[in-house]
Amino acid sequence: MLSILYDHPTISSPDNSMVQEINTFTDIAVDYSLPGNYLVEFFMWMKYIASSTAKWKRMAEEWHNKYSAMFEAMFHEVKGRIVRL
């Protein structure tokens, strides 16, 4: 199995940490995007529940912060190389 990460050498091992992180992100994103999986879709007022009392909301915020930082770091790394050209 060959995996390609933008502007990085070809990764030939599924055990590579970056491949595993991206696969984990994909699994989470697919699970959370399926319509009807979570009550907050039906009860919109739930989005106003404090994170301190809603574990699902804390987890979503943690995942958002973690994966946003990961993808932004990859983007800025490539952008930095392009700007230097």
Q: Would residue 37 count as lying in a domain?
A: yes
Nearest to 7 by CA among 63, 67, 85, 66: 85
Dist. CA 3–CA 5, nearest whole Å: 7
Considering its fold, how many domains does the chain have in total? 1
Mean pLDDT over all residues of the chain? 85
Q: In this predicted structure, what is the pLDDT of residue 5?
A: 64
Q: How confident is the model at residue 3 (pLDDT cuts 50, 70, 90)?
A: low
Q: Is the residue at 6 inside a domain?
A: no
Residue 1, pLDDT above cutoff 60: no
- Domain hosting 68: range is 17-84
Residues 40-67 have a mean pLDDT of: 92
Is the pLDDT assigned to residue 43 strictly greater than 60? yes
Q: Which helix (H) or strand (E) holds 48?
A: none
Give pLDDT, residue 2.
47
